[in-house]
Amino acid sequence: MRSGVKSVGRRLLWLALLLGSVVMASHAMAEDGYDLWLRYRPLESPALERYRPLAAELAGTANSPTLRAAAAELQRGLAGLLGVQPPLSERVSRAGALVFGTPSSSDIVKSLNLDLRALGAEGYVLRSASVAGRRVTVIAAATDVGVLYGAFHYLRLLQTRADVSRLELSASPRVQTRILNHWDNLDRTVERGYAGESLWDWHKLPDYLDPRYTDYARANASIGINATVLTNVNANALVLTPAYLEKAAALAGVLRPYGIRVYLTARFSAPIEIGGLATADPLDPAVAKWWRDKMAEIYRHIPDFGGLLVKANSEGQPGPQDYGRSHADGANMLADALAPHRGLLMWRAFVYSHEEPDDRAKQAYSEFVPLDGKFRDNVLLQVKNGAIDFQPREPFHPLFGAMPRTPLMMEFQITKEYLGFATHLAYLATMYRETLDADTWRKGRGSTVEKVIDGSLHGYRHTGMAGVANIGADRNWTGSQFDQANWYAFGRLAWDPGLPAQAIAEEWTRMTFGNEPALVQPVVSMMMGSREAVVDYMTPLGLHHLMGRGHHYGPGPWVEGGPRADWTSVYYHRADRNGIGFDRTARGSNAVAQYAPQVAVQFGDARRCPEQFLLWFHHLPWDYRMHSGRTLWDELVVTYTRGVQAVSAMRDTWAATAPYVDAERHAQVAAFLAIQEKEARWWRDASIAYFQTFSGRPLPAGEAAPAHSLDYYKSLEFPYAPGHH
Ligand code: BDP
């Protein structure tokens, strides 16, 4: 009996252990996306056998925080990918060593006499070489942060199964400041954020440094992002008070080893709000002194503070025009306060006023072009990709190419405020590429926006690219698995604005999900078509600004009235019995005249205007003949439907990838695609129901009628839609 009890007990114990290990194993395999693309999962054969001998040892001296971060990342990556923990040694003692360092940190690197000067302060080389007769791989740079970037690149090569046996590559960034703009508030809400609360836990700072801050830094460094604005452009002056500066300094301390500089947003009226002054007039000496003192104070807290980002006289924010001064007066006063510390001032060109009757699309150009050459040396003007506001598709902003004497930096939106929030799958690199590839013609053919941004067209002394972050405290960082790709793509394009969107998608997919061709190919093609699908079901043929009021969730083409015309939809689509579209030709607002003549004639002529921008520039009758031979009305309906169909096809594509993706992430993406399909149909149906009241025309043959009445769509309300405060 006793032995029987014992054996039952033992069996139970075994069962418990077994169950425990199964639970643990499945837990270990469950993936929630936290790892991002830095997902160092064990390699399969034969890649494993190929790479292992090339990482037998880590040879270098980790004698700075940045080099320690580089060595730690290599160790972590190699342990995950190759299942080895290569010893760290100062010299090469075996074949297959991975040598890392700068000429000053590593005698081996020094002895190789590499020409590192051309790489600049952030570039690196990856090179197969021979040291004392032994084959090694070298990750070398002139600076520690270059080594860190090189380490991430090396790991990426393994993650994407590249050949690393004969490496001979070098890389350096084409844009100087590669910066995230967090629209994060001090109460941890995030304006237009769809990934939960702000990552910055201000309340617990500076004493508690969430380990996530380090992972955030790793992720950014891995794609070359070297700066971050911690706070919302709709700024709260409190962030400039001593208590918050201490908190910001603590964050800067975490980010510094990863080559990331901290910036803050400055509320223009801060001298009044926290400084006790009666005015914030930029030409008042007391105001200028207040800012000078404030900057000195910031630099005492954060010696490598990057600078300030300012939204002024835009959407109700205070600014120099409140005192009858120009944007240049305001920007230069702040730039002067930053200059002794080598800080940069990023001044946003996103300005428009409801008191100004002119077409909103024209206002930034009208405001800033006359100020070209009037800004201090440390000012960059930050310009959104298009002239309205981060719409699913906009023609490039006419300011690009039009301010040769003022460094213009790009502002892209990574968070998908106008492209379906976190649930819609929209890979944005194709959109970023479209803008970067656009030809401004300002210095003849080939004067692309890319060349404006990398500074080569006008010889800018400063260059920059900003991305409005989509990051929050959600486990998967960005609210969805595929939104991680947009963070990734932004960083890669900021480093090299010439990269093809497809190559970035492929790289990301391999790192994030795996290398099986049956996975990579369909996922990449799904990503490549995804943003076009959103354009089709939300704002086809150049339509824009048709979303719900305030929260911007879902369709709202009927939005009218309220405090400002330029915050309604009817202002933009101008649909009536006769037709639809915003006439921006010489007969209308003449916004086309803000482009170079070669561009203006194209956009200004309905026959030559790319149809994707047709209703952006033209008001056309419903029976206008499209290139397809269809009427404009029919084309509109067909395009909406095409968008919905594309999402259905994406669902099928994704379903077929199930064998290659862990269950947790697969299920989440599948569920989000189902939401996307539902909402795509909602956009189509609501838009068609609304525009049909003007066109008075039947739907083309075979097209399904909207599922509900227009009144139904108009009645929907979403008081707690995320991202809106
Ligand atoms: C708009 C957003 C608003 C931002 C603004 C900006 O709806 O929340 O404050 O852009 O960029 O698209 O300043």
Q: Which atom of ligand 1 is nearest to the CA of 311?
A: 13
Taking the C-alpha atoms of residue 244 and residue 247, their distance in angstroms, rounded to an integer, is 5
- Residue among 326, 507, 342 nearest 429 (CA): 507
Please give the C-alpha separations between residue 355 and each of 42, 347, 352, 358, 544, in angstroms, as whole numbers. Answer: 60, 22, 9, 9, 21
Nearest CA to ligand 1 atom 9: 234
Please give the backbone phi and psi of residue 417, each rounded to the nearest 5 degrees, phi first: -55, -40
Please give the backbone phi and psi of residue 59, each rounded to the nearest 5 degrees, phi first: -110, 115
The b-or-e profile of 78-96 (16+ CB within 10 A means b, else e) is bebbbeeebebeeebeeeb
Q: Which atom of ligand 1 is nearest to the CA of 468?
A: 11
The pLDDT score that the predictor gives to residue 15 is 45
Q: Annotate 46-97 with three-state secondary structure.
A: CHHHHHHHHHCEEECCCCCHHHHHHHHHHHHHHHHHHCCCCCEECCCCCCCE
Q: Which atom of ligand 1 is nearest to the CA of 232?
A: 9
Ligand 1 center from residue 350 Cα (angstroms) = 9
The pLDDT score that the predictor gives to residue 2 is 42
The pLDDT score that the predictor gives to residue 30 is 74
Taking the C-alpha atoms of residue 318 and residue 282, their distance in angstroms, rounded to an integer, is 12
Ligand 1 center from residue 725 Cα (angstroms) = 12
Which amino acid type is present at position 327?
H
Provide the percentage of residues in the chain whose pLDDT is more than 90. 95
Q: Where are the alpha helices (DSSP H) in 467-613?
A: 483-495, 501-512, 517-538, 570-573, 597-604
Ligand 1 center from residue 573 Cα (angstroms) = 20
Catalytic residues: 315, 389, 417
Ligand 1 center from residue 232 Cα (angstroms) = 10
Confidence of residue 354 (pLDDT cuts 50, 70, 90): confident
- Residue in the structure block whose two tokens are 């099986």: 516
The string of DSSP letters for 409-455 reads EEEEE-S-TTTTTTTS---THHHHHHHHH-B--BTBTT-BHHHHHTS
Neighbours of 197 (CB within 10 A): 16
Where would I find the beta strands (DSSP E) of 230-359? 261-265, 307-310, 344-348
pLDDT digits (tens, 9 = 90+) for 558-567: 999 999 999 9
pLDDT at residue 13 greater than cutoff 60: no
CB 251 within 8 A of CB 214: no
Confidence of residue 724 (pLDDT cuts 50, 70, 90): very high
Q: Which atom of ligand 1 is nearest to the CA of 191?
A: 8
pLDDT at residue 6 greater than cutoff 60: no
* The model scores a pTM over 0.75: yes
CA atoms within 13 A on the CB side of 568: 14
CB 99 within 8 A of CB 139: yes
- Residue among 440, 438, 497 nearest 464 (CA): 497
- Residue in the structure block whose two tokens are 């205007």: 609
- Residue among 279, 414, 390, 270 nearest 337 (CA): 270
pLDDT at residue 4 greater than cutoff 70: no
CB 690 within 8 A of CB 713: yes
Nearest CA to ligand 1 atom 13: 233
The pLDDT score that the predictor gives to residue 24 is 37
Pocket-forming residues, ligand 1, beta carbon under 6 Å? 191-192, 233-234, 311, 315, 350, 389-390, 417
Ligand 1 center from residue 332 Cα (angstroms) = 24
| CA angle, residues 467, 470, 473, in degrees to nearest 5 | 140
pLDDT at residue 666 greater than cutoff 80: yes
Neighbours of 244 (CB within 10 A): 21
Ligand 1 center from residue 389 Cα (angstroms) = 8
For the segment 448-470, the average pLDDT, to the nearest whole number, is: 98
- Among 1-10, 24-33, 142-151, top mean pLDDT goes to 142-151
The pLDDT score that the predictor gives to residue 599 is 98
Nearest CA to ligand 1 atom 10: 389
Neighbours of 20 (CB within 10 A): 10
- Higher-confidence residue of 26 and 634: namely 634
For the segment 410-431, the average pLDDT, to the nearest whole number, is: 99
The pLDDT score that the predictor gives to residue 355 is 85
Q: Which domains does the chain have, with CATH numbers?
A: 45-171 (3.30.379.10), 177-510 (3.20.20.80), 536-582+619-715 (3.90.1330.10)
pLDDT digits (tens, 9 = 90+) for 99-153: 999 999 999 999 999 999 899 999 999 999 999 999 999 999 999 999 999 999 9
264 three-state secondary structure: strand
Choose which residue among 182, 390, 544 to substitute to test ligand 1 binding: the one with the highest number of ligand atoms within 8 A of its C-beta: 390
For helices 632-655 and 663-695, angle between their N-to-C axes, nearest 10 degrees: 170
- Residue among 402, 411, 393, 500 nearest 447 (CA): 402
The pLDDT score that the predictor gives to residue 25 is 37
Neighbours of 690 (CB within 10 A): 21
Taking the C-alpha atoms of residue 179 and residue 484, their distance in angstroms, rounded to an integer, is 16
Nearest CA to ligand 1 atom 2: 192
Neighbours of 589 (CB within 10 A): 18
For the segment 263-287, the average pLDDT, to the nearest whole number, is: 98
Q: Which atom of ligand 1 is nearest to the CA of 314?
A: 13
Confidence of residue 353 (pLDDT cuts 50, 70, 90): confident
For the segment 325-343, the average pLDDT, to the nearest whole number, is: 98
pLDDT digits (tens, 9 = 90+) for 355-383: 889 999 999 999 999 999 999 999 999 99
pLDDT digits (tens, 9 = 90+) for 301-329: 999 999 999 999 999 999 999 999 999 99
Mean pLDDT of the chain: 95
Tokens (6 digits) for 53? 């001998």
Taking the C-alpha atoms of residue 207 and residue 185, their distance in angstroms, rounded to an integer, is 19
Q: Partners of 229 in the beta sheet? A: 181, 263
Nearest CA to ligand 1 atom 12: 389
Tokens (6 digits) for 533? 């699908």
Ligand 1 center from residue 6 Cα (angstroms) = 69
pLDDT at residue 278 greater than cutoff 70: yes
CB 554 within 8 A of CB 565: no
Tokens (6 digits) for 631? 């009427």
Ligand 1 center from residue 293 Cα (angstroms) = 30
For helices 327-338 and 285-301, angle between their N-to-C axes, nearest 10 degrees: 40
